[in-house]
Copies of this chain bind each other. A is one copy, B any other.
Amino acid sequence: MTDAQLEKYKVKPGSKVNLHKIDANEYKQYSGTKEIALEEMRSLNMRLDELQKTQHGEKSRKILIVFQGMDASGKDGAIRNVFHSVNPSGVYVAHFGAPSRMELSHDFLWRIHQKAPANGEMVIFNRSHYEDILIVRVQNLMPKKVWERRFHHIVDFERMLFDEGTHIYKFYLHISNEEQRRRLQERVNNPDKHWKIDPNDFKDREMWDKYIESYNDVLNRTSRQWAPWYIIPANKKWYRDLIISNILVKELTKLKMKYPKPKMDYSGIIVK
């Protein structure tokens, strides 16, 4: 995929996006087949592995990849498939569930900051500090003035990370309301998956429109050139993975990362 093709998934800072108008079924316009996509994925997987290896060797950049999306939008699956071939030593996935009592007694960025990547590290956030606007707002957990000022705090925080050498990529997995219904029903129909279901998943679904409204705000107000949001059409899993992988490989390639110089000249040395 060309830069121009991928660029359209990026939320341009200052622009106005509306999730209601974005097609979660875009795969239907894809000219290839699922088989072609999976073939391409294999090669993207390998390239991402190479890029991570180089980043790890170079040890001068930090990479942070954020995944957000509704329940059943496929965050776990996307992370698994996109990073399938990356060395497990090289990538760390941080999950941010409901905050613990101790976490709640700190500011909302406290637990997030602790998981931020160091030089040479690639960290993936499965949910993130954005929940501290989203859930908080939709479920009315705190007054508006609290979550409202967090937009600024998040932008400032990410700017600081960027200024200190962190490259940030944020993915919103966009599924349709009908697709979520289908996936939740699938879980219900499969008794082996019942242990995974939380009764709250159904309640959250009733708030769909409020979530979309909140996501619209997040996407419109926190996308920056140095920490862009990408909206990924995610009704088809293989298409979702293909787009994310293409974006990451393209963006990380642009960083022109390199292995460091050897510490000395080792040529001709005979190990005894």
Tell me the complex Cα distance, A80–B266, Å: 27
What are 29 A-B pairs at a CB distance below 8 A? A57-B196, A76-B89, A79-B88, A79-B89, A80-B88, A80-B89, A83-B88, A84-B88, A86-B88, A88-B88, A88-B93, A88-B124, A89-B95, A89-B126, A184-B271, A185-B271, A188-B266, A188-B269, A188-B271, A192-B259, A194-B262, A195-B259, A195-B261, A195-B262, A195-B263, A197-B262, A197-B263, A198-B263, A199-B263
Name the CB-closest residue of B to A264: B199
Residues of B within 8 Å of A86, CB to CB, are 88
- Residue among A126, A195, A263, A271 having the largest count of chain B Cβ atoms under 10 Å: A271
Q: Contacting A88 at CB < 8 Å: which of B91, B185, B259, B272? A: B91
Tell me the complex Cα distance, A184–B266, Å: 11
Residues of B within 8 Å of A269, CB to CB, are 188, 202
Min C-beta distance of A237 to chain B, whole Å: 15
Identify the A interface with B (CB < 8 A): 57, 76, 79-80, 83-84, 86-89, 91-93, 95, 124, 126, 181, 184-185, 187-188, 191-192, 194-199, 202, 205, 259-264, 266-267, 269-272
Residues of B within 8 Å of A79, CB to CB, are 88-89
Integer count of this chain's copies in the complex: 2
B89 touches A205 (CB 8 A): no
Residues of B within 8 Å of A202, CB to CB, are 269, 271
Name the CB-closest residue of B to A272: B181
A270 touches B185 (CB 8 A): yes
Tell me the complex Cα distance, A272–B199, Å: 14
Tell me the complex Cα distance, A37–B12, Å: 51
Residues of B within 8 Å of A194, CB to CB, are 262, 266
B181 touches A57 (CB 8 A): no
Q: Contacting A87 at CB < 8 Å: which of B80, B197, B264? A: B80
Residues of B within 8 Å of A181, CB to CB, are 271-272
Residues of B within 8 Å of A270, CB to CB, are 185, 188
Tell me the complex Cα distance, A195–B261, Å: 5
Tell me the complex Cα distance, A83–B91, Å: 13
Tell me the complex Cα distance, A202–B270, Å: 10
Tell me the complex Cα distance, A190–B228, Å: 39
Min C-beta distance of A97 to chain B, whole Å: 11
A197 touches B272 (CB 8 A): no
